[in-house]
Amino acid sequence: MVELDPIAEFREDHRKVRDGLLGLADALESKNIGKAGEILGELNNLLGPHFRFEEEALYPALRRFLGEYVDELLKEHDGAIEAAKELARLIGKGEIGDDEAKEAASKTRALLVHVSNCDGLAILAERLDAAEIQNLGRKFAEIRDEGIPLLDWAEKIRKKGS
Ligand SMILES: [Fe+2]
C-alpha cells in the first residue's frame, strides 16, 4: 500500500471540489447540461471516497477536539448528498428552464461553505499523533482503492452517526 499524507490529500481534494462546484454552478447557469453532467460525474467519483474517509475515519478521530460539532458536519454531508441527487435528477432530464438553472447554480454555490468548513479541520487534524495520522493515511488509501462514487456509497454503505 502506498504511503499517503492524509491531510495533504484531503486538502487537495477540497481544492478540486471547490473548482468543480464553481465550474458546475457556471455550467448550470449557462444551461450547459453536457458540461454540468460531466463535472457532476467527476465530483461524484471524487467525493465518494472523500466523504467516506471523513465519516469512517477522520471525523471520529476529531471528535475529541470537536465533540458534537462532528454531528453538524455529518448533517452538512446529508445536505450535500441530497443536493447531488437533486442535481443528478435535474441534469438527467436533459434540459432545464431558466429559473431551475439559476436555483440549481445557487444551491451548488451554497455547498462551498461546507468545503471551506471541512478544510478548516486540517488545523486540528495536524494535532493527532503521528501513528494516528499514519493510520488515517492507510484508511484513505484503502477507501480510494475501493473508489465507490458518492451516490452509490450513500445508497448502499453509508451509516449515519459514525
Ligand atoms: Fe472534506
pLDDT digits (tens, 9 = 90+) for 78-129: 999 999 999 999 999 988 999 999 999 999 999 999 999 999 999 999 999 9
DSSP 158: -
User: Ligand 1: distance of its center to the CA of 48 in Å?
Assistant: 11
Q: Tell me whether residue 97 is in a domain.
A: yes
Q: Is residue 111 part of a domain?
A: yes
Structural domain contains residue 79: yes
Tens digits of residue pLDDT in 60-76 = 999 999 999 999 999 99
Given a cut of 70, is residue 162 above it in pLDDT? Answer: no
Which pTM value belongs to this model? 0.93
Q: What is the CATH number of the domain that holds 50?
A: 1.20.120.520
Region 48-53: what's the mean pLDDT? 98
Long-range contacts, stretch 87-91, CB < 8 angstroms, 24+ apart:
87/24, 87/28, 87/36, 87/40, 88/40, 88/44, 88/151, 91/33, 91/36, 91/37, 91/40
Residue 122 CA, ligand 1 centroid: distance in Å: 10
Distance 77 CA to ligand 1 centre (A): 9
Quick check: is 34 in a domain?
yes
In angstroms, what is the span from residue 112 Cα to ligand 1's centroid?
11
Residue 1 within a domain: no
Counted domains in the chain: 1
Q: What is the CA(95)–ligand 1 centre distance, in A?
A: 30
Q: How far is the CA of 41 from the centre of ligand 1 (A)?
A: 17
146 within some domain:
yes
- Residue-number span of the structural domain to which 89 is assigned: 6-151
Average pLDDT, the chain: 94
In a domain, 157, yes or no: no
CA of 88 to the centre of ligand 1 (A): 20
**pLDDT over 90 for what percent of the chain?**
94
Measured between alpha carbons, how far is 4 from 139 in angstroms, rounded to an integer?
9
Residue 143 lies in a domain: yes
**pLDDT tops 80 at residue 55:** yes
